[in-house]
Structure formats: C-alpha cells, structure tokens
Chains A and B, each alone.
Chain A
Amino acid sequence: DTGVSQDPRHKITKRGQNVTFRCDPISEHNRLYWYRQTLGQGPEFLTYFQNEAQLEKSRLLSDRFSAERPKGSFSTLEIQRTEQGDSAMYLCASSRAGDRLWKTEAFFGQGTRLTVV
C-alpha cells in the first residue's frame, strides 16, 4: 500500500495526558500537512512541512501542540495536557512538489480519531 498511513486509527485518553500521532506520507511527496476535523465540519489546517522544515502553523495550533518531521519523512503530532476540546479527527495529507502550487492535490490518510474523556 503506497498511500498515506496514520497511526493509531483511534485513541482514547484521559484529560491531561499527552498523546502522539504518526503520519507516513507517500514516499515521493515532500509536502506534508496536518488538519483537524471536528464533527460536522470540514478539515481545518493546522501545520505544513516542506521536507523537514515546518513552514506554516495555524493559530489553531496552541502551545500544547507540536509537530515534527525529522529527516523529511514521517511526521509526528503531539498534544500535551489534552483537553476535551481536542477531541477530533486528526488528518494527515501529503502532496508532491509541483511547479504550480495550486495544481497539486493532497492525498489524505484515514485519520486518527482522538477522544479525550
């Protein structure tokens, strides 16, 4: 399977605990994105990497959130001191480099559904 892979698929955690999610993009894609999707809404952008560099962060990404992409391959998203409002689907996407940014579609993983109790 050469698609975007996310792990775990589901995570239930107690409020105040830290959680970490992993995303493995399509191998030849150098761009990687994290989105958050709450129930009944479209995905909202969190952050973006080009290779190992984190180039953009949304204001939605509070200080409790941190993302990394060491060596420009897989990425991790960590949430510290989780709150009930963090409950959502966390989606990872990747896209290839292209000469026209607006032309390149993003391919999404199946997401990690986080429930904070």
Chain B
Amino acid sequence: AQKITQTQPGMFVQEKEAVTLDCTYDTSDQSYGLFWYKQPSSGEMIFLIYQGSYDEQNATEGRYSLNFQKARKSANLVISASQLGDSAMYFCAMRDGGYNKLIFGAGTRLAVHP
C-alpha cells in the first residue's frame, strides 16, 4: 500500500538559512510522482514542486529543491534562504500510475524566526 511518512512534526529555522524537510514514501509501483505542498494558516494548499520517479535530475523551483534518493525512497524538500513568509505546514504527497488520488503525509510545521 502507498504510504508517506513525515517524521518531523515541527521545525525551526533562522531567516535566510536553509532548511530540509524530510519525507519517505512506500510504493510497489515503478511509475509515481512526488509532490510538496505548502499550507499557510489561511488553509489553501499551494503546490510547490514535483519529482517524477523516472526523473534523473532533482527538481528545482526557485528557492525550493527536492533531494530525491530513489533507492532510499526519500524525497526531502530543501528551502534555501528561508523567509518569514515560509512559515506554514508543509505536506509531502505521492501519486502512482495506478491511482488518481494523492496520498499525503501528516505534515511538518515550519517556523521561520527573524
């Protein structure tokens, strides 16, 4: 069965520093996608970055990058140069080729301190 594990309930980072949010996944499928979403206190889920199982390069989107280690089944999100506006919940999610739905982890709450 598909499963996403985020082991860090909360993380703190100083403004302008980099932070890594952990995500491990479990699937028996060869074709799958990994997604990170940000959820501010307003409640909306904001798509950040995507990594496909066949992608050889780690995905990057501005200050976000995804450290994809397929053999370890991990897809950690790296946020560089943290900003106060990065304070939010962050969710890792997965979709494989057999299912349409996204499976989410429990999330990590990130607090950026000035």
Given A41-B106, A102-B33, A103-B33, A93 and B97 contact (CB-CB distance below 8 Å)? no
Contacts of B93 in A (CB 8 A): 42
Contacts of A48 in B (CB 8 A): 100-101
CA–CA, A70 and B95, complex, Å = 26
The answer to whether A107 has its CB under 8 Å from any CB of chain B is: yes
Contacts of A105 in B (CB 8 A): 33, 35, 47, 50
The answer to whether A28 has its CB under 8 Å from any CB of chain B is: no
* Chain B residues with a Cβ closer than 8 Å to the other chain, count: 29
Of the listed stretches A18-26, A61-69, A108-116, chain B binds A108-116
* Chain A residues with a Cβ closer than 8 Å to the other chain, count: 29
Chain B window 14-35, contacts with chain A (Cβ cutoff 8 Å), 1 for yes, 0 for no: 0000000000000000011101
Q: Once the chains bind, are A100 and B97 in contact (CB under 8 Å)?
A: yes
Q: 10 tightest CB-CB pairs across the interface, nearest first?
A: A42-B104, A108-B45, A102-B33, A45-B101, A110-B44, A111-B43, A105-B47, A102-B95, A102-B32, A102-B97
